[in-house]
Amino acid sequence: MLPDCLSAEGELRCRRLLAGATARLRARPASAAVLVPLCSVRGVPALLYTLRSSRLTGRHKGDVSFPGGKCDPADQDVVHTALRETQEELGLAVPEEHVWGLLRPVYDPQKATVVPVLAGVGPLDPQSLRPNSEEVDEVFALPLAHLLQTQNQGYTHFCQRGHFRYTLPVFLHGPHRVWGLTAVITEFALQLLAPGTYQPRLAGLSYPGAEGLAHPQQPLVSPCQASSTSGLNKGL
């Protein structure tokens, strides 16, 4: 059963679990930060995603992502980076007190640290947002119930120089496929928001307080060819 992630009790539980890691990570430098917006769409708990503009340069144009970007020297910390970038990309102002805490950092292909910032943004209609068309092509929400259904979960094998290295999650059957770093961050969020309901498919990835636990420090590389398995690898 899906827990009431948007209740006051659910929020307090998450804030308590994240408190230690949040204090540590806010004091450390990072290369970039993203906001993981937990919202309510017509009363249904969901995560908010963006589709990066196809006009951007770089390998990630047109990919699904969370709002965010590189840390600016003027930013006080990674929380301020995530909030600033969200307002610039989506026109969505999220007060700092709505931040629940920081999830485990992930690493981009250049091994730069990206810190996910979980925040409750309240009731929201994605179609009412006015995203910056230079950075974002589309904004959409995926209900937590959709993300938690096993038929919508899969994996991608990654290899380097022709050899298998590791496997990362992918979330399917929404408006767009969620994969790569965004899928890893989504998995971290689901482990926190729906403990006991979401079962991660990656060995070594679990989330109580993130202290002393292994996480994927390897940078993402090109995906290997993978065979299709029902409920695991559809759509790859």
Q: Is 232 within a domain?
A: no
Q: Is 174 within a domain?
A: no
**Contact by Cβ (8 Å): 84, 72:** yes
Q: Which two tokens stand for residue 153?
A: 């979960």
Number of compact structural domains in the chain: 1
Helix or strand holding residue 144 (H, E): helix 144-148
Q: Is 37 within a domain?
A: yes
The model's pTM is 0.85
Q: Is 113 within a domain?
A: yes
CA distance 6 to 3: 9
**Contact by Cβ (8 Å): 190, 153:** no
Domain coverage including residue 96: 8-144
CA distance 35 to 18: 15
How many Cα neighbours within 13 Å face the side chain of 159?
8
Per-residue pLDDT of the chain (236 residues; tens, 9 = 90+): 566 788 999 999 999 999 999 999 999 999 999 999 999 999 999 999 999 887 766 566 668 999 999 999 999 999 999 999 999 999 999 999 999 999 999 998 778 999 999 999 999 999 999 999 888 999 999 999 999 999 999 988 877 788 777 788 999 999 999 998 999 999 999 999 998 888 876 544 443 333 333 344 444 444 554 433 333 333 33
pLDDT of 205 reads: 47
Q: Is 167 within a domain?
A: no
Q: Is 210 within a domain?
A: no
Tell me whether strands 32-41 and 113-123 are parallel, antiparallel or unpaired: parallel
CATH of the domain at 31: 3.90.79.10
Q: What would you measure as the largest C-alpha separation in the chain, in angstroms?
A: 48
Q: Is 216 within a domain?
A: no
Q: Is 100 within a domain?
A: yes
Q: Hey, how many other C-beta atoms are within 10 angstroms of the C-beta on 199?
A: 11
How many Cα neighbours within 13 Å face the side chain of 173?
16
